[in-house]
Amino acid sequence: MPRAVIVGSGREIPPNCVTNAMMARLMDTSHEWIVERTGIETRYFVDEGVATSDLGAAASRKALEAAGVSKDEVDLVIFATMTPDHYFPGCGGLLQAKLDMRNTPCFDIRQQCVGFVYGMQLADAQIRAGFAKTVLLVGAEVHAGFMPYTKGEWDYLYGKTDVALSKELFDKNTRFRDRIVLFGDGGGAVVLKAAEDDTSGVIESILRTDGREWDKLHVPGVGFKHRPYVSHEQLDRWDQLPIVEGRAVFKLATTLMAEVTHEILRRNQLLIEDLDMVLMHQANLRINTYVQKMLGLPDEKVYNNIQRYGNTTAATLPLCWDECVREGRIKKGDLVLMVAIGGGLHWGATLLRA
């Protein structure tokens, strides 16, 4: 039975680097406050008008080039995001059109931070089933859209104007600072091909969901639970911003990511020592450091880039993968684990050999 093997990857980072000191223009915070709680030092935002599908398309072009695969060879597109260009349609078809793929089927999946792991399992399953031989898997996000800022307020963030925020907006940003400082924009993509070689490719994925914990990570507004699904009252309350129950998420993330790691290794008769690289979702450096200690992993077997990019949700894992491959930290034959947790509550792990 064929396995899905990653044969190429690519990433796209927007041009606007935002430091913690720049964030402090918008709210009562500091570089030290943000780093202590999250590990984040910078994040990147798109220019106005640049959409999630644009980042996904740019990353996809680089992944296809790295793989030596033409767009016409792609049998299936899987796009993971929680920040689609439109409420509907999803980003898959938009990306397909931007890459000029003709009638290639597309899946849009919504597992937030663990979307890329779910996408890996879906791509592998479709390849094993014979539905596709070449799959383009994309994770991309534009979180800048969460921020209800005017052009003048964005200009003040970037230092293009000296006109400061009103005290009302500054104070409101401060109330939401625990979330506003977390997110960045970015896109990553991988190309997976069917291979009969049983020494490489996806070995197994484990996926889990517990809907009882949905309220720990969610967006309270702009949904069809409401009538209408979006209103001025919701926007005035900033209900379009995510709710993140930090202490609960920390406990769930550290416990469940460690548990699923042990489970997937046990099922494949492997030990922690057998892993060459572990890529964790980049939500909070404190979470990843804690999990690393729980698993007994040395620094050289764990890769983090949240310090530079912030939380890019579905894009974090393909960004990590692409950087590790291009820097030589993941080499042919290496045993790699991807593990993540996200809103839903969803979590999971993918074990593969590069």
- Run of H or E including 186: strand 186-195
pLDDT score of 310 more than 90: yes
Q: What is the spatial distance between Cα 91 and Cα 101, in angstroms, rounded to a whole number?
A: 14
Mean pLDDT of the chain: 96
- Run of H or E including 288: helix 285-295
Residue 148: predicted pLDDT: 80
Specify whether the CB–CB gap between 116 and 147 falls below 8 A: no
pLDDT tens figures, 22-31: 999 999 999 9
pTM equals: 0.97
pLDDT score of 274 more than 90: yes
Single-letter amino acid code for the residue at 121:
Q
The length of the chain is 354
Single-letter amino acid code for the residue at 228:
P
Q: What is the spatial distance between Cα 244 and Cα 176, in angstroms, rounded to a whole number?
A: 10
- 175 C-beta neighbours (distance < 10 Å), count: 12
pLDDT tens figures, 311-338: 999 999 999 999 999 999 999 999 999 9
Residue 147: predicted pLDDT: 85
Q: What is the spatial distance between Cα 63 and Cα 59, in angstroms, rounded to a whole number?
A: 6
Q: Are strands 106-109 and 76-80 parallel, antiparallel or unpaired?
A: parallel
pLDDT tens figures, 222-245: 999 999 999 999 999 999 999 999
Q: What is the spatial distance between Cα 210 and Cα 347, in angstroms, rounded to a whole number?
A: 9
Domains of the chain: residue spans and CATH: 3-195 (3.40.47.10), 201-353 (3.40.47.10)
Q: Which residues are catalytic?
A: 113, 281, 311
Residue with tokens 């990590």: 320
pLDDT tens figures, 131-163: 999 999 999 999 999 988 888 999 999 999 999
Residue 198: predicted pLDDT: 72
Specify whether the CB–CB gap between 257 and 347 falls below 8 A: yes
pLDDT tens figures, 74-107: 999 999 999 999 999 999 999 999 999 989 999 9
pLDDT winner (highest mean) among 1-5, 234-238, 272-276: 272-276
Helix (H, G, I), strand (E, B) or coil at 58: helix
Evaluate the CA torsion angle 243, 11, 140, 344 in order and state its sign.
negative
Q: Which two tokens stand for residue 303?
A: 């890769």
